[in-house]
């Protein structure tokens, strides 16, 4: 009787598949550009809020419009928070669905490693916040330091010119996706109050109609855009945060391809909407959310008052400890093996980069302290401070490893047969090895020809008697 084959151990920080790598490159390219716009929007907001234009900035933020009958007579800040961020969370929903169905999270054994790291990377910052605020501060802001902003993080990488390997980029993206998933749950569970069950019932009916039309493969933006707007308005009126409507509709899109399709409906729509999310929705939200007063007293308060201090320490210390410790525990208990091209300092550096918690952290700050504007402003200043500290530390750590990352990137992108597919993805393809054999034979023939021209047969050349 043949002994059962031993299961191969999982590889932590494994190189993504060719399909995943192509998607990753395109998505991160868009997010990087969006992240640079996001940085610019945040800087402009800070300049406005700390200059002679601060009064004008506040007037713009609090300018209200919209139909009161639909509970939509709200200011521009809330239009950005409840409206534009719905586009961002719609993309998050599609991305999450794709990761679960056709991405890095579809394999439970492989997915367990980054998921455990991400969960620990959210739990430890929350624990740090609780520890700092226990008995002396408001515990309502515990969720603020749990988020990771992938666009901001990629913008930092673009600014310093880091050649982060694809395996680490995929790990960072997975951390952000899992963070976003739990952020959605936190917003839905902890920041829902005063439910209007009639509006909620209609919103759920609208989402069911959206799902039904998707399954019937009804096409046309003129069908889905009005329906999406109605679903959003009903969700807003229900008391559940309006962004949940965006997530729900994103999760309903089909992300698998069928025969004859180049890409799935979900991938196509995500490709169209992601630039709008990264280049407009999130930067506009940042412009209205990031304009906090920066002066000596405000900065001193960030490091002395318990709530903002808990946020800063949660982002900087909590993320590093949580992700690094979670990764080590996951590898130990699943008996996985670390990618031999990388090392634990690389995980530490990515964990530091994950401490950049901008968009969702700012949103949760406003939701957690909606009744205390001053405290909301303090914690938003703490988010900015913690994110900047994390970015600086990550830049230093990543720069130390940049030469190694360049070598890995060159190996990952090597394409000796010139077919547009990196060689490392074709090591099991016989046709690739035949093509390489022909290439090497042609090179050998060329070298023999050059040798004959320089030293014809029978010519002693430079040999000595």
**Contact status, residue 313 vs residue 128, Cβ threshold 8 Å:** yes
Query: Residue 193 has which token pair?
Result: 């109050």
pLDDT in tens, the chain (465 residues): 444 444 556 677 777 777 777 777 777 677 778 888 988 999 999 999 889 988 999 999 999 998 888 788 899 999 998 999 999 999 988 988 888 887 777 777 777 788 888 899 999 999 999 999 998 888 999 999 998 887 888 788 777 666 778 788 888 888 888 888 888 888 888 887 778 889 999 999 999 999 999 998 898 889 999 999 999 999 999 988 899 999 999 999 998 888 888 888 888 998 899 899 988 999 999 999 888 887 777 777 788 899 999 999 999 999 999 999 999 988 888 877 777 888 888 899 989 999 998 888 998 998 889 888 889 889 999 999 999 999 999 989 888 888 887 887 777 777 888 877 887 778 888 888 888 888 888 888 888 888 888 776 655 555 444
Cα angle value 267/270/274 (rounded, 5°):
145
Residues contacting residue 443 through CB under 8 Å, at least 6 positions apart? none
Query: How many angstroms separate the CA atoms of 103 and 112, rounded?
Result: 13
**Contact status, residue 92 vs residue 184, Cβ threshold 8 Å:** yes
Give me the CATH number covering residue 324. 1.20.1530.10
pTM more than 0.85: no
Residues paired with residue 396 on neighbouring β-strands, in sequence order: none
Residues 299 and 432 in one domain: no
Residues 303 and 442 in one domain: no
Query: How many angstroms separate the CA atoms of 45 and 57, rounded?
Result: 8
Residues 289 and 400 in one domain: yes
Query: Residue 153 has which token pair?
Result: 């993080």
Alpha-carbon 343 to chain mean position = 22
Residue 337 within a domain: yes
Q: Please report the pLDDT score of residue 124 as a whole number.
A: 95
Q: For 292, list phi and psi in degrees, rounded to 5.
A: -110, 155
**Contact status, residue 159 vs residue 403, Cβ threshold 8 Å:** no
Residue 460 within a domain: no
Q: Please report the pLDDT score of residue 465 as a whole number.
A: 43
Residue 216 within a domain: no
Q: Please report the pLDDT score of residue 456 as a whole number.
A: 67
Number of compact structural domains in the chain: 2
Query: How many angstroms separate the CA atoms of 333 and 336, rounded?
Result: 8
Residues 432 and 403 in one domain: no
Residue with tokens 């190694």: 404
Residues contacting residue 55 through CB under 8 Å, at least 6 positions apart? none
Residues 431 and 307 in one domain: no
**Contact status, residue 91 vs residue 270, Cβ threshold 8 Å:** yes
| Burial category of 250 from C-beta neighbours within 10 Å (exposed 0-12, middle 13-18, buried 19 and up) | buried
**Contact status, residue 110 vs residue 15, Cβ threshold 8 Å:** no
Residue with tokens 């999450």: 96
Residue 101 within a domain: yes
Residues 144 and 91 in one domain: yes
Residue 3 within a domain: no
Residues 34 and 159 in one domain: yes
Query: How many angstroms separate the CA atoms of 113 and 269, rounded?
Result: 29
DSSP 8-class letter at 9: P
Residues 391 and 443 in one domain: no
Domain range spanning residue 28? 11-191+241-413
Q: For 11, list phi and psi in degrees, rounded to 5.
A: -110, 125
Cα angle value 334/339/342 (rounded, 5°):
130
- Other C-beta atoms closer than 10 Å to the C-beta of 137 total 18
Query: How many angstroms separate the CA atoms of 256 and 265, rounded?
Result: 8
Q: Over 47-76, what HEC string results? A: HHHCCCCHHHHHHHHCCEECCHHHCCCEEH
- Other C-beta atoms closer than 10 Å to the C-beta of 8 total 8
**Helix segments in 401-460, DSSP class H:** 402-413, 430-454
Residues 166 and 304 in one domain: yes
Residues 398 and 432 in one domain: no
Residue 370 within a domain: yes
**Extended beta strands in 130-229, E state:** none
Residue 408 within a domain: yes
| Burial category of 444 from C-beta neighbours within 10 Å (exposed 0-12, middle 13-18, buried 19 and up) | exposed
3-state class (DSSP) for residue 77: helix
Residues 328 and 427 in one domain: no
Residue 462 within a domain: no
Q: Please report the pLDDT score of residue 161 as a whole number.
A: 61
Q: Please report the pLDDT score of residue 459 as a whole number.
A: 56
Residues 450 and 315 in one domain: no
């Amino acid at each position: 009787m043949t002994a059962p084959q031993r299961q191969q151990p999982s590889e932590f920080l494994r190189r993504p598949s060719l399909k995943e790598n192509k998607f990753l490159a395109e998505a991160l390219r868009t997010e990087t550009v969006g992240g640079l716009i996001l940085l610019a929007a945040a800087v402009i907001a800070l300049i406005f809020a700390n200059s002679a234009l601060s009064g004008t900035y506040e007037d713009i933020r609090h300018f209200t419009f919209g139909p009161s009958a639909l509970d939509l007579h709200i200011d521009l800040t809330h239009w950005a928070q409840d409206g534009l961020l719905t586009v961002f969370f719609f993309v998050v929903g599609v991305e999450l669905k794709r990761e679960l169905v056709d991405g890095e999270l579809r394999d439970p054994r492989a997915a367990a490693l980054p998921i455990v790291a991400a969960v620990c990377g959210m739990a430890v910052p929350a624990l740090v916040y609780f520890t700092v605020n226990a008995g002396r501060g408001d515990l309502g802001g515990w969720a603020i330091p749990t988020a990771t902003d992938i666009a901001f993080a990629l913008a930092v990488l673009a600014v310093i010119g880091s050649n982060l390997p694809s395996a680490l980029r995929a790990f960072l993206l997975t951390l952000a996706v899992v963070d976003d998933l739990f952020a959605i749950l936190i917003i839905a569970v902890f920041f829902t109050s005063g439910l209007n069950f009639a509006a909620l019932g209609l919103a759920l009916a609208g989402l069911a109609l959206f799902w039904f039309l998707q399954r019937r493969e009804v096409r046309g933006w003129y069908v889905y855009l009005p329906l999406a707007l109605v679903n959003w308005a009903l969700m807003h009126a229900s008391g559940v945060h309006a962004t949940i409507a965006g997530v729900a509709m994103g999760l309903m899109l089909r992300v698998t391809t069928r025969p004859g399709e180049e890409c799935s409906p979900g991938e196509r729509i995500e490709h169209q909407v992601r630039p709008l999310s990264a280049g407009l929705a999130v930067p506009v939200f940042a412009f209205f959310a990031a304009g906090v007063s920066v002066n000596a007293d405000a900065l001193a308060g960030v490091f002395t008052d318990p709530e903002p201090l808990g946020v800063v320490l949660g982002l900087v210390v909590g993320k590093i400890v949580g992700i690094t410790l979670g990764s080590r525990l996951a590898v130990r208990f699943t008996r996985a093996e670390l990618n031999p091209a990388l090392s634990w300092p690389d995980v530490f550096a990515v964990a530091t980069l994950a401490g950049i918690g901008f968009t969702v952290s700012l949103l949760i700050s406003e939701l957690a302290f909606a009744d205390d504007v001053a405290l909301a402003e303090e914690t938003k200043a703490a988010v900015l401070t913690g994110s900047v500290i994390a970015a600086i530390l990550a830049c230093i750590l990543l720069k130390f490893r940049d030469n190694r990352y360049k070598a890995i990137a060159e190996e990952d992108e090597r394409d000796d047969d010139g077919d547009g597919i990196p060689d490392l993805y074709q090591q099991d393809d016989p046709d690739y090895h035949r093509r390489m054999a022909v290439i090497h034979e042609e090179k050998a023939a060329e070298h023999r020809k050059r040798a004959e021209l320089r030293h014809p047969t029978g010519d002693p050349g430079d040999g000595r008697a």
